[in-house]
Amino acid sequence: MVKSLVTVLHVMLSLFLIAVVLLQSGRSAGLSGTIAGGAEAIFGKKKGLDELLGKMTTVVAVLFGITALLLGFWQ
């Protein structure tokens, strides 16, 4: 019973982790990064959403690791 609940939680966390990572803005590099960096200096950057998604990624990744360890011990 508990193992199946942890398995369902693990699958839900994995899907949520994928979604949160894909929603984050990428770290620009190269020529496009220099152009976008100049635009961010003029217009500003959306920090609130990026910070929230970063914190959510950390929390979900830790929970995912804990459930993976629990499922590994129950094998």
pTM of the model: 0.72
Give the model's pLDDT for residue 71.
95
- Residue 24 — φ and ψ, nearest 5°? -70, 150
The residue whose two tokens read 């020529």 is 31
Q: 39-68, pLDDT tens digit by residue? A: 566 655 567 888 899 999 999 999 999 999
Report the chain's C-alpha Rg in angstroms.
Answer: 18
Q: 7-44, pLDDT tens digit by residue? A: 999 999 999 999 999 998 776 644 545 555 555 666 55
For the chain, the structural domain boundaries read 2-73
Rounded distance between C-alpha atoms, residue 44 and residue 72, angstroms:
45
